[in-house]
Amino acid sequence: MKLHLLALATLLLTPSAQQTTGTTSLDARDILERMGPDFGAPRMGLPRPLQPKTTAREVDSEAGTESVAASDKQRRIAASKVLESSLRRQLRLEETTAVDTRWLRVNDEGVVSGSLDATGQARLEELLACLRSFDDLIVIEARYVEVSRAAARKLGIEATSHIATTDERDVLLEALMAEGANTLSSPKVLMHSLQQASLYVGDVLTYVEDWSIHKVEPHGAEVLDPKIMEVRLGTSLAARGLPLPGDKLSLSLEIEHATVAKPLRTSRVQLGSREVEVALPEISAQRVQVELTVSPKATTLLPIPSEADKLLLVFVTADVVPETK
């Protein structure tokens, strides 16, 4: 009798419809080869020494067969990492059918491997099929609008929000203009699926951070040598998009905004027997990273602190356009 009860308990603890995990190995070389190069955005608000300008001839003279081969290898490695992270993120998104992606890998030959259950296998194949069938381009339009915090509060703009149609977006833009807002720029960028593209609107501030004295010949003359720094100010947007089943788009956005207090603060310092002037810029920088799933023509509104009493509103609109051959 005990043996019968033990057998019954084993049957109850082992469901017949159990989700089994199996080894997945899919070929995605064609997707990897179609991926374009990434164009990252410059870092904003980060001072660095003034860089010497490199001519195209100098760059070309350093390129050879080995460097081209290495560059292609690096491109495939970078592309495989992008594809892997994108697939992982999409497989984890749906809370009701979240998939364990700890073992999912994409190598530089385009082989997708891992241990997935039947649900994960089906969703992975669906994502890869969607990437293969997508022959269009993703267009990102970013509108930068500067507005007072008071006007933003009056219109109910406090946090990231989603606007379903371009008509609704334009109505809000008109309301902002009526409150004295200022449109700084409206750049657009095209990208292939999984490719990163960037937009940059701003300027470069060049300033003297420090001085040093060098003795040179003839006669041991003293020469003042400035330490020149540069910093990018303005706004940059780095975006990566990929198509999803159901006519949706997945967007990874990174926005950086940097400003400098004006007038530029300076100081006079003693260097040997001489008095020299240096700049002490007060730089404020913000960085925002968001992951979105949107419909084409939908807009995401991202408010970013700018100056003490102002906000920078970034309207990001994504759409799909056919690629012209």
**Where is pLDDT greater, at 120 or 239?**
239
Cβ atoms within 10 Å of 266's Cβ, excluding its own? 12
Question: What is the pTM assigned to this prediction?
Answer: 0.79
Cβ(151)–Cβ(180) under 8 Å? yes
List of residues 6+ apart from 111 with CB closer than 8 A: 25, 26, 27, 28, 29
CA distance 78 to 84: 10
Sorting pLDDT into bands at 50, 70 and 90, what band is 72?
confident
Q: Is there a cis peptide before residue 243, judged by omega within 30 degrees of 0? A: no
List of residues 6+ apart from 15 with CB closer than 8 A: none
- Domain-wise residue ranges, the chain: 21-52+67-321
Beta strand ranges found along the chain (DSSP E): 21-27, 48-49, 105-106, 111-117, 137-148, 161-163, 182-185, 188-191, 196-216, 221-244, 248-260, 266-271, 274-279, 283-294, 299-305, 310-321
Q: Judge whether residue 121 has pLDDT over 60.
A: yes
Q: In degrees rounded to 5, what are phi and psi of residue 170? A: -65, -35
Percent of the residues in the chain that have a pLDDT greater than 90, as a whole number: 56
**What angle do helix axes 118-133 and 65-93 make, rounded to 10 degrees?**
130
Cβ(215)–Cβ(158) under 8 Å? no
Of the candidate ranges 43-52, 63-72, 139-148, 215-224, the one whose mean pLDDT is the lowest: 63-72
Sorting pLDDT into bands at 50, 70 and 90, what band is 108?
very high
Q: Cα torsion at 43, 44, 49, 52 (round to 10°)?
A: 60
pLDDT at 6: 36
Average pLDDT, the chain: 84
Cβ(223)–Cβ(217) under 8 Å? no
Residue with tokens 């082989």: 111
Q: Judge whether residue 324 has pLDDT over 50.
A: yes
CA distance 313 to 304: 6
Indicate if the alpha-carbon torsion angle 113, 115, 121, 124 is positive or negative: negative
List, for residues 24-39, the tens digit of each pLDDT value.
789 999 999 989 889 9
